[in-house]
Amino acid sequence: MDRSTLGHNLKPLERDDLVVLRLSPADRRKRYVELTKKGRSILRESRRLWRRAEHRFENVFGKQPAAELRAVLLNIASNKELHALAIR
């Protein structure tokens, strides 16, 4: 992700007090993104909701087919050749 895209994506999170941007003490050109207390709380809640959604999906779709689907999707996401095609 380029720097301007990253900045555009972080601005709403910073505005909503979910992250804070910190300057590196060693190199002021570098910034670090840190979750705030509110951000950590929302992350915990979102993980809980995601696990519940996964559980419900597995109950309907089946554990083995769900695992196979996840494996296929991870393979697609990690396929560098597909990423190169998408950029063109």
* pLDDT tens digits along 31-52: 899 999 999 999 999 999 999 9
* Rounded Cα–Cα distance for residues 52 and 50 (Å): 5
Task: Write the pLDDT tens digit of every residue in 61-71.
Answer: 999 999 999 99
Q: How confident is the model at residue 30 (pLDDT cuts 50, 70, 90)?
A: confident
Contact between 13 and 39 under an 8 Å Cβ cutoff? The reply is yes
Q: Give the list of residues 6+ apart from residue 62 with CB closer than 8 angstroms, or none.
A: none
Residue 19: half-sphere exposure toward Cβ, Cα within 13 Å: 15
pTM of the model: 0.69
How many other CB atoms are found less than 10 A from the CB of residue 12?
Answer: 10
* Rounded Cα–Cα distance for residues 37 and 81 (Å): 39
Boundaries of every domain in the chain = 1-35, 49-88
Q: How confident is the model at residue 7 (pLDDT cuts 50, 70, 90)?
A: confident
